Structure 1
Amino acid sequence: MKLVWSPEKASKAYLDTVKSCKISKESGVAELLSAMAAGWNAKFIVESWSHGGLIATSVGLAVAARNTGGRHVCIVPDEESRLEYIKAMHDMGESPSPEVLVGEAEAVMGKLVGLDFLVVDCRRWDFFRVLRFAKLSSRGAVLACKNACQRNVSWFRWNVVLERGTRVVRSVFLPVGKGLDIAYIGSNSGVASSRKSNPSRWIKHIDQQSGEEHMFRG
């Protein structure tokens, strides 16, 4: 089974998000991602969020999850971010808030098997690790990097950061907000085979402030 587009759900989620986020400074991003998640009838929506992030996209994804009857999970790096996220969602009228998981990318993403819509914030230094360890649905998935113009890496390529064997059907960069980089993953390519048959790779990260170079095993 593959992801199937529903224009009716997309339209409803878009309008609901516009209504919910009418005073948001993140105009365009939240509405677009909400419509995409609902339009693709996403059943398992995951996002990454960290301290100081705008909340409109999260509201839009919550709206999409209600429209599809899906599960919505937010992963955050620390307890401070968790408390801030829950408060921000509550202030926007989203109560109860989505599930919130705290921890490093590898540990947290390993618990989330079969996701079909993933949004990562490129302001989070380890955003590429969130993508790398994502366990995607066998029916396909949509992956989105918001704030893509603020990525702290110059080497970003979908086929580099994703699990080996993941089939990227198409990708597109949209000049919405501070940049949206979106990839559509084909069906039956989500959860990759055992890591024993897919040796890990090293990924280089350069701290833009200190200039220090760090190597991570992907």
Structure 2
Amino acid sequence: MAAGWNAKLIVEAWTHGGPITTSIGLAIAARHTRARHVCIVPDERSRLAYVKAMYDVVGWVSEVIVRQAEEVMGELKGVDFLVVDCTSKDFARVLRFARFSNKGAVLAFKNAFQRSSSGFRWQGQGVLDRGTRVVRSVFLPVGQGLDIVHVGSTSGSGSGESMNKNHSRWIKHVDQKSGEEHFFRGKF
């Protein structure tokens, strides 16, 4: 999906013990699109495990940054593709500080079943900036749940500012647990 989006900056937050398969796919996609692939890990233990696993499987390692993900996200401008694990207690903070590319971004959230049981909403809980245009979201029952969101293009100042603030449209969201359809109308 990252390669199909032709992403130029692919970012993932990874912790020790997490599956490496997503990281492998992102690294290969980054090679195909000549993108920058950044893996953010919280500590040295996670960095060592990530580097070893990547060398064992693909034979190379993308850029690894050892710090808290929400700290790093403010420094990475133009994120096209972001992968975050919803079991991380700070995944919403990671999104809040993300600075998406001008053409928009694709956000992929692993282990989304755990998040959906808490009454989670994309907007209104400080996850995405006010005015961020959610173009489309889809929930896939893969593994522990995969939530994919496409946020719209921006005016170039980071995350959240829509190009046309006076545009009004309907958005449909289907609750994956109950099957209920929700329609929202707003200015984006």
Superposition TM-score tier, normalisation by shorter sequence: 0.7 to 0.9
Runs of 4+ in structure 1 over 3 Å off? none
Alignment-derived partner of residue 74 in structure 1: 39
Deviation string, structure 1 residues 45-78 (Cα, Å, up to 9, x no partner): 0001001001000000011111111110001111
| In the alignment, structure 1 residue 44 sits paired with structure 2 residue 15 | no
Deviation string, structure 1 residues 130-152 (Cα, Å, up to 9, x no partner): 11111100111100101111339
Alignment-derived partner of residue 142 in structure 2: 176
Question: Can you give the 5+ residue segments of structure 2 that lack an aligned partner in the other structure?
Answer: 162-188
Secondary structure, counterpart of 1:80 in structure 2? helix
| In the alignment, structure 1 residue 132 sits paired with structure 2 residue 96 | yes
Deviation string, structure 1 residues 10-31 (Cα, Å, up to 9, x no partner): xxxxxxxxxxxxxxxxxxxxxx
CA contact (8 A) 2:2 2:29 kept: yes
Secondary structure, counterpart of 1:163 in structure 2? coil
1:107 to partner: Cα distance: 1.6
Matches within 5 A, 1:51-62: 51-62=16-27
Query: By percentage of residues, which structure has more strand?
Result: 2
Q: TM-score, structure 1 length as denominator? A: 0.68
| In the alignment, structure 1 residue 111 sits paired with structure 2 residue 72 | no
Query: By percentage of residues, which structure has more helix?
Result: 1
Deviation string, structure 1 residues 183-205 (Cα, Å, up to 9, x no partner): 001112671479xxxxxxxxxxx
Letter in 1 for 2:119: W
CA contact (8 A) 1:121 1:146 kept: yes
Distance 1:100 1:176, change over 3 A: same
CA contact (8 A) 2:13 2:69 kept: no
Moved more, 98-107 or 64-73: 98-107
| In the alignment, structure 1 residue 98 sits paired with structure 2 residue 58 | no
Question: Can you give the 5+ residue segments of structure 1 that lack an aligned partner in the other structure?
Answer: 1-35, 195-218
Secondary structure, counterpart of 1:39 in structure 2? coil
CA contact (8 A) 1:166 1:189 kept: no
Superposition RMSD in Å: 1.9
Moved more, 68-77 or 181-190: 181-190
Distance in 2, Cα, partners of 1:164 & 1:153 = 23
Distance in 2, Cα, partners of 1:50 & 1:156 = 22
Deviation string, structure 1 residues 89-116 (Cα, Å, up to 9, x no partner): 1111231x01111212332111111010
CA contact (8 A) 2:80 2:101 kept: yes
Secondary structure, counterpart of 2:107 in structure 1? strand
Identity %: 67
Distance in 1, Cα, partners of 2:2 & 2:82 = 9
